[in-house]
Chain A
């Protein structure tokens, strides 16, 4: 087996067809995680009676276990729950008709929600309390103050963490190959084993991921610069 540089390019082109799947998984899980995570973060910050402690435990548990165990627990546990539910409610829906990618999306959303809640929480805590008080003092209601005053500033403060988590989820999406979703890693495995050129195929996959990561970093950097315009300090 000899190193075949030209096959790296062949593999690269073949792998490009799997990029949308990877990006889809990443975007959906980050977006879902952000929504869920914001709810969790608010529950914790406002110390909502029952939900607050539950959220704390949830975040600790999810962050303390590997992403792959979430995926496997959802993949093997969810069908039983769905089947039990539809049997007791008399639906004709069966878990066999759930596409594989749905399990990945659900599992990764759960993973992302825990990490995102920490991102959102740290962002919210970085906003000075006086901002909320000032908003109240000019007559805004709390939801108004949150939406107009606190969230924009929290977003700016959380952006670096957000892009980190986003990259983390991009890298984590490679795990979807274990539940037969054909994303970049699975495609690399297919290309590698059909041509018996493992090194070249994975090298191409690595290059794609590297490129995507650098792209996300750059975009986040540019966005950060733009969003922090208000925050330049000084007197001018």
Chain B
């Protein structure tokens, strides 16, 4: 098990080699997020509109995909789907592994997406829909123009988390033999025995991508939420911020909008 001695040169050597498989990783992430959004919408709608039987089905679906590890799901779909399709006389033995991987991640992400969509729609104040109706919008109009934009902004942080989680989960696709970054790292290791270097580079690449994604989503979030007033709700929370000075408090209260109807 102990590999070759740590050699910094290999770290630089492995960077371009691992980056060459970055596109596979990003393909899996991109496809499964897009497909997952579609699945999520389909699964969320019966629960949002309380469709009798379908509601129950989507509840079980979400519970299953959130309640089992992604690794088990990968194996389950990889080995199980061909057998189920064989019953329907469909032969999928020549389908590339990547299809199964993307399918699994889409179904997995879909379960989380449906919860995200549900929470986002529920978080929009009911009065918003009523106000939309009162100015004469139809149901779909109210949903598309009023509820959806607000729900999107609210669920963006959750969406960002999901994208980053999916990115990190793709590191498990190697267990089915897909040549994404983690798989590439393992082949590099069987050649050179430089375990620590390879995994260090791998970790750094993942970190940089998820860090960049986080920043990107934060910018987007700020842009989508620009209609909301900035509330410094955490000002009075636990933590040491130094004792508040009277001058500071006065300055603060002066900048606050006055109460009343705002006329």
Contacts and interface: CB of A to CB of B under 8 A. Distances in A.
Residue among A65, A77, A126, A203 with the highest chain B CB neighbour number at 10 A: A65
B1 interface: yes
B71 interface: yes
Interface of B: 1-3, 6, 63-64, 66-73, 75-76, 79-80, 83, 87, 164, 168-169, 171-172, 175, 182, 195-196, 199-200, 202-203, 206-207, 210-211, 214, 234, 236-240
16 contacts: A46-B240, A64-B207, A68-B172, A70-B203, A79-B2, A80-B196, A124-B238, A126-B238, A128-B236, A170-B69, A185-B71, A199-B79, A203-B80, A206-B72, A210-B63, A214-B67
Nearest to A189: B75
Contacts of B169: 66
Contacts of A203: 76, 80
A93 interface: no
A195 interface: no
Contacts of A167: 67
Contact of A69 (B63, B164, B202, B214): B202
A39 B73 CA distance: 35
B-side interface mostly = helix
A72 B199 contact: yes
Contacts of B203: 61, 65, 69-70, 73
A199 B76 contact: yes
B62 to A, nearest CB: 12
A210 B67 contact: yes
B64 A210 contact: yes
Given A175-B71, A185-B71, A65 B79 contact: no
A209 to B, nearest CB: 5
Contact of A47 (B70, B72, B214, B240): B240
Contacts of A213: 66-68
Contact of B69 (A3, A66, A174, A214): A174
A122 to B, nearest CB: 10
A73 to B, nearest CB: 5
A17 interface: no
Nearest to B5: A80
A76 B200 CA distance: 11
A102 interface: no
Contact of B72 (A63, A95, A128, A202): A202
A51 interface: no
A56 B69 CA distance: 28
A141 interface: no
B171 A66 contact: yes
Contacts of B234: 125
A184 to B, nearest CB: 8
